[in-house]
Amino acid sequence: MAKAKLNLSRIIGKHPDFPKPGILFRDINPVYRNPAALKFIADEFSRRFSKTKFDVSAGIESRGFVVATALGMKACKGMIMIRKAGKLPGPTIKKSYDIEYGNATMELQAGAVKKGQRVLIADDLIATGGTGIAAAQLVEELGGKVAGFAIIIELAGLKGADRLREMGYKVESLVVYD
């Protein structure tokens, strides 16, 4: 008998006007602290990327770290942290970009990705796609190849996931909101 699919959208939290007026913040914390939901995310992404070859997963700070670690462990791969500026030691490369509520700079250690390595990028949510594009640019600048994007929540109205798809990237999202 088929098992009932876990309904992630019922578990994801919702906070109007956070962190700024006009932003409806989708809170992934209740999902991460729910063992069945966490397992569902790892299982569902490994199923969707079962035919995609990747050497390492990369998480976008900080909510993407959880997804990337789950995927990396499940596939017996390592995990790379793409961090906000100023947190990583040693030589790094940086990219600045706009987000739904402001702007940001992401950073990657220069030795984190080897030439030709296939990197699966993970985050909790995609809105305008600025963060995802910056992450892809960082990976590619080091000679890596983006194997795809594993994103829990897609805000379809902001078209970020479609921007990435139009650029030729495989994007898998588990919950889509308008």
- Asked if 136 is part of the footprint of ligand AMP (rule: CB under 6 A), the reply reads no
Stretch that binds ligand AMP, among 1-9, 51-59, 118-126, 164-172 (CB under 6 A): 118-126
Angle subtended at Cα 72 by Cα 147 and Cα 63, rounded to the nearest 5 degrees: 90
* One residue of 130, 135, 169, 173 binding ligand AMP per CB under 6 A: 130
Residue 149 pairs in a beta bridge with 121, 171
Stretch that binds ligand AMP, among 82-90, 110-118, 130-138, 139-147 (CB under 6 A): 130-138
Phi then psi for 13, rounded to 5 degrees?
Answer: -80, 165
- Asked if 131 is part of the footprint of ligand AMP (rule: CB under 6 A), the reply reads yes
- Asked if 167 is part of the footprint of ligand AMP (rule: CB under 6 A), the reply reads no
What minimum distance in Å lies between the beta carbon of 146 and ligand AMP?
15
**56-60 vs 118-126, strand pairing mode:** parallel
Cβ neighbours around 12 below 10 Å, total: 21
Nearest CB to ligand AMP, comparing residues 132 and 148:
132
Binding site for ligand AMP (CB under 6 A): 23-26, 60, 63, 99-100, 123-132, 160
